[in-house]
Structure 1
Amino acid sequence: MQHTPDSDSAHPAIRLLGLRETPLSLDEVYAAVGDDAAGGTAVFVGTVRDHDGGRSVAALDYSSHPSAQRELRRVAEEVAAEHPVRALAAVHRTGSLNVGDIAVIAAVSCHHRAEAFAACARLVEDIKHQVPVWKHQLFADGDEEWVGAHADRGR
Structure 2
Amino acid sequence: NLLNSETDENFTQQMVEYAQLQSDALAESGISGFIFKNDSPSCGLGRVEVHNDVQPQSKEQAMGIFAMVFTTLNPHIPVIDESRLSDPVQAEHFLARVEFLSLWLDEDRSGWTADKLMQFHNTNKLFLLSRSPNAKRSLGRLIANAFDRGDHPENVALEYMTSAQQSL
State whether TM-score is above 0.5.
no
Larger helix percent? 2
TM-score computed with the length of structure 2 as normaliser:
0.22
TM-score computed with the length of structure 1 as normaliser:
0.23
Which structure would you say has the larger RCO, counting Cα contacts within 8 Å and 6 or more residues apart?
1
Larger strand percent? 1
Larger Cα Rg: Structure 1 or Structure 2? 2
